[in-house]
Structure 1
Amino acid sequence: MGSICTKLIPCLVSPNKASILEDPNNGKEEEAGNLPVFKEFTFEQLKNATSGFAVENIVSEHGEKAPNVVYKGKLENQVRIAVKRFNRSAWPDSRQFLEEAKLVGQLRNARLANLLGCCCEHDERLLVAEYLPNNTLAKHLFHWESQPMKWAMRLRVVLHLAEALEYCTSKGRALYHDLNAYRILFDEEGNPRLSCFGLMKNSRDGKSYSTNLAFTPPEYLRTGRVTPESVIYSFGTLLLDLLSGKHIPPSHALDLIRDRNIQMLTDSCLEGQFSNDDGTELVRLASRCLQYEPRERPNSKSLVAALTALQKETEVPSYVLMGIPATTSFSPRSPLGEACLRLDLTAIHEILETLSYKDDEGQTNELSFQMWTDQMQESLNSKKKGDVAFRHKDFKDAIECFTQFVQHGPMVSPTVYARRSLSYLMNDMAQEALNDAMQAQVVSPVWHIASYLQAAALFSLKMENEAHAALKEGATLEAKRAAATTNGQ
């Protein structure tokens, strides 16, 4: 895929700098679709994919204040990614970091948000994983807005999690650091998956437990080390989370279990959704996982067997149980989103023409300056000629004029990229249109129009799934923008 490079915006990808590592499976994928082989990315690639590590793209629990920040991003081939950027003091040994990342990168499983690659340049240490768009278990369990998680879905979550741990154990990766509700993510279909980031410690000293000490495995407090049995203990705390809908300290939960006060442990939102026997069995499993002595806890294989027998509504897709619209059935509500869905280029043109340049605020302050060099004035004249051509639907001239402005202009304008993107679409140049729409997003990460235009270009390229994902992203950004405007009034 080509990309447009200017002196103002770096290329979105530098293919010659990325080195492909040897495929540990000899090209055979394990239960995880057609994922690419683990690779090394350049720092510039990941910087561009995340729009310069924009604050708007942070998805970690504690935002910018997190010791290791996670960003969402998008590669030039439209693959959506999650990028974990470690703090500067973590992993001083680059060789150790790369070796660990390569080992985790060998794993490929449908129950994981798999590791796609890493970056190890100078003192930068970054991991790249699949991006799952439907939030974390913590969000759906503790901070739900429309509906609480159903019992059948809670059982599915713990089974998928147990299967993920059993797969990792079978591949020699039994250690998982700081297993909690934020490590479980939901994919496009609403299926729960375990983040691969927890398979690598957060730093060379292995101090990865950031949760409250009340939830930390007792042996970790004694030794400072994570063991496979510690992971089972943390699994027990997640069983309690799913049963209660709250984050209950294990010691308190065990007191309630000993007093046979199971009702206090059960989420009131689940009333009538499960039998006493099912509830009792889940409590029993949690109690076994939370045993003080590590050797008395079950292993992941036995947990899979026990949880498989408890499953309900197995024929119902996860997105239905979760109340999540299927990606392919998503329908935008705004006129621009609808126009992009229909690939109605005439309607898109009318909307972009109406919007003018009001979305360039913060990007084009230089336009108010009165003093220009001859070159700058000439560049602005190119933009004005491009606008006239765009208005009169002379899209070939618009492309030529906007290109002159992009190459020699004194400032960066996402709207110019948007207009040139549509002009390319009008001339059946969908790939060039996609490149421009992505450049517009690099300049303005939260600009919904850039995502919508990417959708239109992707529809033209017959990339239906990617187009619907871009459409959904545009609608989400547009809704956030509308909410911010309403709250600001």
Structure 2
Amino acid sequence: MGCCQSSLLKLKKPSADVIGRGEHSLDRKNHHHQNGVDSSPADEFVPPFLEFSFADLKAATNNFSIDHIVSESSDKSPNVVYKGRLQKENNQRFVAVKKFTKAAWPDHQQFADEASGVGKLRNKRLANLIGYCCEGDERLLVAEYMPNCTLAKHLFHWEKQTIEWAMRLRVALYIAEALEYCSQAERPLYHDLNAVRVLFDENGDPRLSCFGLMKNSMDGKSYSTNLAYTPPEYLRDGTVIAESVIYSFGTILLDLLSGKHVPPNQALDMIGGKNITLLMDSHLDGKFSTEEATLVFELSSQCLQYEPRDRPSIKELVAALVPLQNKSDTPSYEMLGIPKREEIPLAPQEPLSPMGDACSRVDLTAIHQLLLVSHYKDDDGSCELSFQEWTQQIRDMLEARKRGDMAFRDKDFKGAIDGYTTVSYNS
């Protein structure tokens, strides 16, 4: 690809100026970054990784209603992502549910193992994976729901809501930090990294979707976007390596600079040693630092080098991006132009009554004792009306109710359930 051999930058590694500004500015690092896999823990409210039933996810998405679709499918990537809300009494959080095609992952165990591997990751720079479903032929992933859309929508579709320059720099850093965390956690491969994979949470903070840490199918392609954005080594022989992710990160940097999805070769040829403002998003209207933009463009150019060995490491990219964060104290929601999330205090929990406690534990013996103490009795005295006027169905219901009552008094809970179920079914 000629774009990566441009005379503008023939750097095999990031220049001393580009990377040095990060390495010699460690004292300027703000709270956004610290080295180490566990340096950026996930939100304390991220639930543990779970296996969901298909019924759970069907209920959460209203039977996978088209009204709940948040990402459209395509021929190249036919899997669909839905917005859902869990229906458990103690868990009604919003989730993103990715539903794979039936034939995507035929091996039940392989899908479960892959999902479990991704589910171990927990970081505040990720939209974390919180569960999966592997029931019959169904294959689904469940992740934290990010309510403020994708970077692609903010950059390419909402021209009247332009992302300010400082926020674009924050996006670059946060996604680099997410990739650094994944790399250090021994999950360095990310499939089809692009602006659609960058999501904004309820606070407006950018996060990297966990869905890209798994392929769309067991034997599927790692890249489904236009070939113009695909790493050269993948085009050559289908190889995906850690450096391939760096290449894709370079395309995201171009997106942030231009506000358009510009193919790498076109972007580099457009500049050709001229002023960086030729590439910049016109909606920024000069509201950016030319020096900072030039540095980001240089980083992008290095990421897009043809040979994988000539690209910078993710650690070097983070080090170069940290000093560029010049509005560290401004919350993301303010820069993104979205309302501040209001914290709703949890209602104080009233202590459960003895019956409520027994029901929450499904303790049938305790329920039985409590009902006896409260003088529970059956309906023997209330069934003295003229049976001959009643239908056979009513008589059957009363008989079933009596059988349930008798079984309950004898602590035959299975018999009681059977009797009461018959009554419920016929009523």
Partner of 2:25: none
Corresponding residue to 2:277 among 263, 268, 281: 263
Bigger relative contact order (CA 8 A; separation at least 6): 2
Partner of 2:84: 73
Q: Which amino acid aligns with 1:155?
A: L
Alignment of 1:278-357 (within 5 A): 278-328=292-342
Asked if 1:169 corresponds to 2:183, the answer is: yes
Q: Distance in 2 between matches of 1:235 and 1:258?
A: 21
> What SS class does the counterpart of residue 197 from structure 1 fall into?
helix
Length-normalised TM-score, structure 2? 0.69
Length-normalised TM-score, structure 1? 0.60
Flag the 1:64–1:325 CA change in 2: closer, same or farther, 3 A: farther
Q: Which amino acid aligns with 1:150?
A: E
Flag the 1:82–1:286 CA change in 2: closer, same or farther, 3 A: same
Q: Distance in 1 between matches of 2:206 and 2:78?
A: 25
Partner of 1:35: 46
Partner of 1:132: 146
Deviations 1:255-285, CA, capped at 9 Å, x for gaps: 1233324222111111332222111101100
Q: Which amino acid aligns with 1:309?
A: P
Q: Distance in 2 between matches of 1:303 and 1:311?
A: 13
Asked if 1:205 corresponds to 2:216, the answer is: no
Partner of 1:3: none
Shift of 1:29: 9.8
* Structure 1 unpaired stretches of 5+: 1-27, 331-373, 375-406, 411-489
Deviations 1:48-90, CA, capped at 9 Å, x for gaps: 0101000000001448995000000001222110000001111
How many residues align structurally?
308
Partner of 2:234: 220
Q: Which runs of 4+ in 1 moved over 6 A?
A: 407-410
Flag the 1:254–1:142 CA change in 2: closer, same or farther, 3 A: same
Q: Distance in 1 between matches of 2:80 and 2:239?
A: 23
Q: Distance in 1 between matches of 2:57 and 2:130?
A: 12
Q: Distance in 2 between matches of 1:109 and 1:179?
A: 18
Same amino acid, percent of matched pairs: 62
Asked if 1:54 corresponds to 2:65, the answer is: yes
8 Å contact from structure 2 (residues 271, 278) kept in 1: no
Flag the 1:409–1:195 CA change in 2: closer, same or farther, 3 A: farther
Tell me which protein shows more helix as a share of its residues: 1
Q: Distance in 2 between matches of 1:322 and 1:133?
A: 13
Q: Which amino acid aligns with 2:257?
A: L
Deviations 1:116-148, CA, capped at 9 Å, x for gaps: 000001111100000010000011111115420
8 Å contact from structure 1 (residues 108, 114) kept in 2: yes
Deviations 1:147-185, CA, capped at 9 Å, x for gaps: 201000000001000000000000000000000111011
> What SS class does the counterpart of residue 70 from structure 2 fall into?
coil
Q: Distance in 2 between matches of 1:37 and 1:29?
A: 17
Larger Rg: 2
Report the aligned-residue RMSD. Answer: 2.3
Q: Distance in 2 between matches of 1:165 and 1:289?
A: 14
Corresponding residue to 1:230 among 239, 244, 251: 244
